[in-house]
Structure 1
Amino acid sequence: MTAPTPLDTLWLTEAVRLREAQAGLLDDQQANRQARSVGGDLQARIQQRALWLAERDGMTAALRRWKQGARLALLALLLVAVISGAGLAFAALGDTPGSINVFRALGSLLGLNLLLLLGWALGMLLSRHTGAGLGQLWLWLSNRLARDAQAVQLAPALLVMLQRQRLERWVLGLLSNALWLVALLSALITLLAMLATRRYGFVWETTILGSDTFVSLTQALGRLPALLGFSVPDAETIRASGNSINGLEQARQTWAAWLIGVLLIYGILPRLLLTLLCLWRWRRGRDALALDLDDPAWQPLRERLMPSSERLGINDAAPERLHEVGTPDAALSSDGAVLVALELDNQHDWPPRHAPHVLDAGILDSRESRHRLLEQLTGTPPARLLIACDPRRSPDRGSLALLAELARNAGQTRLWLLPAPAGQSLDPERLGDWHEALNALQLPYTEQPAMTWLESGHD
């Protein structure tokens, strides 16, 4: 699995923030410890915490699926753009076989494009938040294709993140202009193919305008294409085309070159330049993206992630459901072994004799001792962890949550259910409660001494 990009990291961080803003703080004690162990400034720790929570709760996988859906939506829109561009070219060629009405063709090829382009430009100038229609359509399709409950916050988080640098207008503008560029290129290719394989005559028709108007307009539109070498019909050719279909070979080629040049200069070139402009602004703004640490939403995390002000102990309420026990990557290459006991009284003879390389973490009987051991295991997870428990006590929710957290920071974990002290006996019903709870956590346990396994890794 590839590491998330800096943009993905910011994206997931914002998504976790939105989720916590809607549903309350997540169970993040292990995530906070992991972030503190990695170190760095506050932004790095907030992002590390968010990555841990996103991976645990499935948001990282949801992001990958959302991006797959976004790519599929983009491919679908590109296909629609290609087909639409070809449709524009066929509409420009007209219904009359062998005849092209010049300005009707221009209206078909450039009319809608120029209107939408003008609307987009006015929106960029006059509106603070501008979303191109095709860009919004892409976002909607991406959400529809994702269909993942964990992806609910991804699209809003993306927009909130981009709005900090006002990048959403450039991202959506990039999509819109690029799709229009593809459509116009498709129209150009289709037009070239039709002009190369069929013979067309060019005419213009009017009832209320004179021929001088069309002469002036045609030559004005042809000035910029002429700079690139495209032919422009002279006044005589333009007037002759107003009377009937001009059958001269030279006139047909001149009109065809003029039409292609106008499409290229006034349709394709502006969209290409705007696509490059949006791409440049997006890349420059993307490199400047960062968390707004002055946002009040991050202030509680400052208290919990920075060592200068961190609080000892477990202050949050116990979760309704304990998360699955995993294995940290660092423990896979470790040879360490740790022995620890949970809330033992002085009736037990503790600790048992063990090999010198086994670390005795003592008895966890306070918040400070629990916190200290969890911080140590997070930084250097051992290969094996043996936790001794007194089965005379009830397996309450807090104890089980602690066992799950300890187990998540070791390669292998075993629970040692100690025998009753001399002269006492274990309650079979309470012992059964321990078995049921540990089975639910998928933690192996034994009622026999497990020092051999702890010291050597086998029984």
Structure 2
Amino acid sequence: MSDKQASFKARWQAEAVRLLQGAASDLQAEAGAREGAATEAEQRVLRWAAIIGARHQLPEIQSAWRRHCILILMVISVLALAGGFTTALTVLGDGTQAVNIPWALGGLLGLNLLMLIFWLLGMLARSDGALLGRLVFQLTHYLPGEHHKALTRAFATLNQRADLMRWWLGLLSHTVWLCAMLGALFGLLWTLALRSYAFTWETTILSADVFTALVHGLSLLPQTLGISIPDAATLVGADQSQADEVRRQWAAWLTASVALYGLMPRLVLILISSIRLLVGLRQLRLQTTAPEWAPLVQRLTPDLNERHVTDPAPEAGQAARIVPVSNPRPGTSVLVAYELTAIKPWPPAELPEHTQCLEVNSRGQRQQSLSALAEARPGTLMVICDARLSPDRGTLHWLVNAGSLAGVTQIVLHNSEQSSDERLTSWHDSLRDIGVDIAHIHHAMTEALNQLGVHNG
């Protein structure tokens, strides 16, 4: 799966699977991800998530989550539409009294413009600032089921890292406010079509010049669209005997103001938010180098044993070497009994704190031990091998993988006294070739374990 083919939905699913899985290892999914043709870490992660997601039907749950979000948005938008319609009816009244133009403008546009200013300030401060958007998204947290909650958290986490969450919330908020202004516009047109209204300007402390300046300022945009500007003087001292032509002019001016200053800004911002999201989602990638992804990425790195098992034997100087992990956990250690089915007692008695014991006797246990080491990142890895057996390629490849997940690797050649000199030499040469220091090769298990403070009573 290439970067272009990988969709936001696939990356969203991967983030949700990570949250659901936690630190738990899924050997089947990890093996499947390693066996694919993917060369990039993100591609293997997406394959891993697709395997686990299909098992838990996450694609279907994702679709259901999106439908629930759309339903929530639709319900809130319908309520906003009804609220805007009701506001228009309330502001204009029943027609028995003249409509105060500034009061009507404030009632129809005031809250919308105030929230728009808050959103703009929030965007400048790089916060979401979209109250209605947060309300819509917050309601998704109440969807039932662990998978729904994980998808909600994954959606937020993925988009916040890409600085897209504020655009999502803004898009939701602008959509709701657009519906509110549509409701106000419909209510305004409905009421003006069924009732006859006179318009006036009433004030106690302001002069007529203030109102005239307001009308001329708000008329700049309507005038460019060819909408006639009524004379502000016609409202001073107006009463119910106002001429029909004057009433129609003020009705058109009020309707145009609501459409241009209430509706159009939200439409433009919806378009801007949508374009920003489209561009951002195309560029979005999983941050596989982040600490929360690192253990999984290590486990998904193709195993050297699987990578080379069918290849010809490597020539001298071409053997893979141990590369110690860069961030081991100091003071921790792991003991591994490698193909020692008869070792007694195991695990050793009186293990010190922060010491873990593992056994490796099968292919499945090799994979499990590597997963455990990837999570543990021990400061010291001590592997106990049977010196009577030859150091075959499978063993050496596993040692390279295991040693690359720890700080220091030490090898104990158990039963050295029962092995031939030729075989011990082969062990020493092979271990040196993969990067094990000669000082870290032991022949007496008791002494080696005592270095870690382990009693092998």
TM-score bracket for the superposition, by shorter chain length: 0.5 to 0.7
Structure 1 CA distance, aligned partners of 2:96 and 2:35? 76
1:149 maps to which residue? Answer: 146
The 3 A distance-change label for structure 1 pair 369 and 268 is closer
Letter of the structure 2 residue corresponding to residue 138 of structure 1:
V
User: Match for residue 219 of structure 1?
Assistant: 216
Pick closer, same or farther for the CA change 1:106–1:7 going to 2, 3 Å: same
Q: Aligned letter for 1:46? A: V
Match of 1:175 among 164, 172, 176: 172
* 164-173 or 96-105: bigger deviation: 96-105
Matches within 5 A, 1:67-86: 67-86=66-85
Q: What is the CA deviation profile of residues 56-82 of structure 1, one whole-angstrom value per residue up to 9, with x for unaligned ones?
A: 235444323322211210111121121
For the aligned residues, what is the CA RMSD? 2.5
Q: How does 1:229-268 map to 2 (within 5 A)?
A: 229-239=226-236, 242-268=237-263
For 1:72, give the aligned amino acid.
Answer: L
Q: Is the 8 A contact 2:181 2:263 kept in 1?
A: yes
Contact 1:14 1:161 in 2 (8 A): yes
CA contact (8 A) 2:288 2:297 kept: no
Partner in structure 2 of residue 37 of structure 1: 35
- Residue correspondences, number: 310
Specify the alignment match of 1:48 in structure 2.
47
Measured against aligned partners, the alpha-carbon deviations of 1:129-168 in whole angstroms (never above 9, x if no partner) come to 3151111111122232x31122222111111100122100
Partners of 1:85 and 1:138 in 2: how far apart?
18
Q: Return 5+ residue gaps in structure 1 as ranges.
A: 313-364, 373-459
Counterpart of 2:13?
Answer: 12
Q: Does 1:195 align with 2:188?
A: no
Residue type of the partner of 1:139? F
Alpha-carbon separation, structure 1, partners of 2:203 and 2:305: 81
Displacement, 1:286? Answer: 0.7
Report the Cα distance in structure 2 between the residues aligned to 1:235 and 1:111, rounded to whole angstroms: 21
Structure 2 CA distance for aligned equivalents of residues 205 and 310 of structure 1: 87
* Partner amino acid, structure 2, of 1:162: N
- Residue 272 of structure 1 pairs with residue 273 of structure 2: no
Out of 116, 134, 141, the position equivalent to 2:132 is 134
Summarize the alignment of residues 427-438 of structure 1 with structure 2, pairs less than 5 Å apart.
none
Contact (CA 8 Å) 1:222, 1:261: kept in 2 or not?
no
| d(CA) in 2 for partners of 1:180, 1:106 | 16
Q: Which AA in structure 2 matches 1:172?
A: L
Q: Are residues 283 and 369 of structure 1, via their aligned partners in 2, closer, same or farther at CA, if it must alter by over 3 Å?
A: closer
CA distance, structure 2, for counterparts of residue 297 and residue 205 of structure 1: 64
SS at match of 2:192: helix
1:258 to 1:295, Cα distance in 2 relative to 1, 3 A: same
Where 1:130 maps in the other structure, the secondary structure is coil
Deviations 1:261-302 (A, max 9, x none): 211221111111111111110111011111112212222223
Q: Secondary structure at the match of 1:290?
A: coil
Distance 1:258 1:135 in 2: 31
Alpha-carbon distance between aligned partners in 2 of 1:100 and 1:87, rounded to the nearest angstrom: 16
Between 1:32-41 and 1:73-82, the stretch displaced more is 32-41
Q: Distance in 2 between matches of 1:104 and 1:46?
A: 58
Aligned to 1:323: none
**Take 1:310 and 1:17, find their aligned partners in 2: how far apart are those partners?**
26
Cα displacement (A) at 1:119: 0.5
In 1, distance between residues paired with 2:240 and 2:364? 95
Q: Output the amino acid matched with 2:14.
A: T
Mapped pair 1:283 → 2:278: yes
SS of aligned partner of 1:252? helix
Cα deviation digits, residues 436-459 of structure 1 (max 9, x gap) = xxxxxxxxxxxxxxxxxxxxxxxx
CA contact (8 A) 1:35 1:305 kept: yes
Residue 121 of structure 1 pairs with residue 116 of structure 2: no
Q: Percent identity?
A: 37
2:199 match: secondary structure: strand
The Cα offsets for residues 343-383 of structure 1, whole Å up to 9 and x where unpaired, read as xxxxxxxxxxxxxxxxxxxxxx96238989xxxxxxxxxxx
SS in structure 2 opposite 1:296?
coil
Amino acid at match of 1:272: L
* Distance in 2 (alpha carbons) for counterparts of 1:285 and 1:225: 35
Please tell me the residue identity of whatever aligns with 2:62. L
The 5-angstrom pairing of residues 252-401 of structure 1 reads 252-307=247-302, 309=304, 367-368=362-363
Relative distance call for 1:212 and 1:63 in structure 2 (3 A) is same
> What do residues 309-349 of structure 1 show as CA deviations (whole Å, max 9, x unaligned)?
5789xxxxxxxxxxxxxxxxxxxxxxxxxxxxxxxxxxxxx
Partners of 2:206 and 2:363 lie apart in 1 by: 91
After superposition, what is the alpha-carbon deviation per residue over 1:48-105, rounded to whole angstroms, capped at 9, x for unaligned? 1112222323544432332221121011112112101101211221365253111111
Query: How far 1:212 sits from its partner (Å)?
Result: 2.0
Give, as a single letter, the amino acid of the residue that structure 2 aligns with 1:141.
L
* Structure 2: segments with no counterpart, 5+ residues: 308-359, 368-457
CA contact (8 A) 1:85 1:186 kept: yes
Are the counterparts in 1 of residues 133 and 170 from structure 2 also a CA contact under 8 Å? yes
**SS of structure 2 residue aligned to 1:152:** helix
